[in-house]
Chains A and B, each alone.
Chain A
């Protein structure tokens, strides 16, 4: 398909474990974003990649969160030593560039037991 693809769609894990979430952006989109939506909240920005520039990590809530984008395409969001407050839907979006609409994947629903 031509849309943003995220995997897994659901992830249940025990507190303290590490998790990796994957995002395949739309082909040709230079910008890639990670957001999360906690229950009853709006979407919260986490991190932003634009081309080969250094990522904007200003939204990451703690140093347990990290992300990388390999070859300017696929991105992985890693959460180390997960906590219950990390439970949320993690959404990835991509866009062709500045001031262009962001297109979202369907997200990964992360549940920490």
Chain B
């Protein structure tokens, strides 16, 4: 039973446009959410996080939105750049799991020049 779901295995976007990556979760106890970017043969790189007391967090071109009632979060990248092409993982945690992360299966983003 997947607690964190990324339903789109891939997404293709034109350079300069907005990329929107989506993530759904089932456990209402989750209170900390993160996005990671992963290139082949490298470990995941932390991008941005949000706690459940907020509904939006912004860092440069990256914004994460959290909708607790819908158990949904999204990552917006504006403007998208070819270097953003990678696999993006959504992850969640809650105090009861002592901080270990539960990951989605990832969405492969391709940004075309």
Contacts from A to B (Cβ < 8 Å): 4, 31, 33, 35, 40-45, 48, 50, 56, 59, 91, 93, 95, 97-99, 101-107
Contact = CB atoms under 8 A, between A and B. Distances in A.
B86 to A, nearest CB: 14
Interface string B85-113: 00001010101011111111110000000
Chain B residues touching A, range: 20 to 34
A59 B97 CA distance: 11
B45 interface: yes
28 contacts: A4-B43, A33-B101, A42-B4, A42-B89, A42-B104, A42-B106, A43-B89, A43-B91, A43-B103, A44-B103, A45-B102, A50-B98, A50-B99, A56-B97, A56-B98, A56-B100, A93-B43, A97-B99, A98-B95, A98-B98, A99-B93, A99-B99, A101-B46, A102-B34, A102-B46, A102-B101, A104-B43, A106-B43
Contact of A48 (B4, B100, B104, B106): B100
Contacts, number: 61
Most chain B CB within a 10 A radius of its CB, from A4, A45, A50: A45
Contacts of A98: 95, 98-99
Contacts of A41: 105
Contact of B45 (A31, A43, A104, A107): A104
